[in-house]
Amino acid sequence: MYYAFFGLLGLAATSHAAVASSNRGDSGIDPDALDVGRSCPKHLVIGVRGSDEHDAEGVKNRETAKMGETVAAYIMPNELPSDTEYLDLPYPAALSATLHGDLDAYWESESAGARLLRDTIRARIETCPYIKIALAGYSQGAQVVNDALGTLSADHLNNIRAVLLFADPKADSSQSYHELVLPLLGTPAEYYGNDGFFGPQALPNMVWDRATSICIDGDLVCNVADGIKDGLVQIMFNKVHTGYRQWWGGLGLRTRLGRQLVDRLKA
């Protein structure tokens, strides 16, 4: 069950992932990613796309578009100050190589992303000590954010002003910042869900009041359940896990969470 499930984690592979991988060498990492910009803007938004997710169509801000269709749907450049910088974390965002249990590519990709995000944040704060940073990640990208935050010092965490996670495979359903929402309605469920597929991992407590981790009920990546057959997993995966950018989260979810990120970053 597990192998078939994670062979499908993320969206269909696209040219974005292929081109990005060819430009980043054997490690899959772009060394220029640490040089986010030469100036010191007040705000920086870093988006981390899901597995093999491609550029968002119809998004005018190109850096926002490169964050992937899900994260880009919740970022509101028009609501943020004009000097805000946007960065798509250029990590591999790879899936497992096969449908039959090879998760090495996924773990190598996720680990590389977490290290790159950590180093990017540290370097940016060293250059711009007063910068306010927002982090947003979907699926594998949410796990990257979760893991990277756990490696940052308290001084660095002070600069992290907003965190928005979708379908985190390490979601911790016991945390106050975790929201299980009803499909289609986008409203909080009146019952507790389960933890993420890889087990719960809480964010550092310094960011709890600035973080939201969203899981749509029925998404087994962030709300795994026992006794589910492979076929049902795949059906629910296709309709729910890939639907955060569309109508599965409810018409008001994008506006509510996008506004929340803006307010937190500007506070």
85 touches 45 (CB < 8 A): yes
Residues 6 or more apart whose Cβ sits within 8 Å of residue 191: 180
Q: Is the pLDDT of residue 264 over 50?
A: yes
**Residue whose entry in the numeric block shows the structure tokens 């981390």:** 48
More confident residue, 95 or 34: 95
**pLDDT value at residue 263:** 96
Closest among 96, 80, 192, 214 to 145, alpha carbons compared: 214
pLDDT, averaged across the chain: 80
Write down the pLDDT at residue 95: 75
Which burial class, exposed, middle or buried, applies to 265 when counting CB atoms under 10 A from its CB (0-12, 13-18, 19+)?
buried
pLDDT range class, residue 102, cuts 50, 70, 90: low
Q: Give the chain's domain count.
A: 1
pLDDT-based confidence at residue 235 (cuts at 50, 70, 90): very low
Q: How confident is the model at residue 232 (pLDDT cuts 50, 70, 90)?
A: very low
Question: Any residues with CB less than 8 A from the CB of 264 and at least 6 apart, and which?
Answer: 134, 161, 162, 210
- Residue pair 113/89 in contact (Cβ under 8 Å)? The answer is yes
Query: pLDDT tens digits for 187-227?
Result: 778 777 889 888 899 999 999 999 999 999 888 889 887 65
Predicted TM-score (pTM) of the model is 0.82
Quote the CA–CA distance of 92 and 115 in Å, as a whole number: 12
**pLDDT interval class at 24 (50, 70, 90):** very low
Domain hosting 171: range is: 2-266
Residue 250 pLDDT class (50, 70, 90 cuts): low
Which CATH number belongs to the domain containing residue 123 in this structure? 3.40.50.1820
Q: What is the pLDDT of residues 45-83, one digit of tens each?
A: 999 999 878 777 666 667 788 898 899 989 988 898 888
In this structure, which amino acid lies at residue 91? Y
Joined together, the tokens standing for residue 36 give: 């986010």
SS (H, E, C) 14-82: CHHHHHHHHCCCCCCCCHHHHCCCCCCCCEEEEEECCCCCCCCCCCCCHHHHCCCHHHHCCCCHHHCCC
The answer to which of 30-39, 151-160, 193-202, 203-212 has the lowest mean pLDDT is: 30-39
CB-based contact 36:87 (threshold 8 Å)? yes
Which residues are CB-neighbours of 126 under 8 A, at least 6 positions away? none
The pLDDT value given to residue 238: 60
Q: Check residue 236 and give its pLDDT.
A: 39
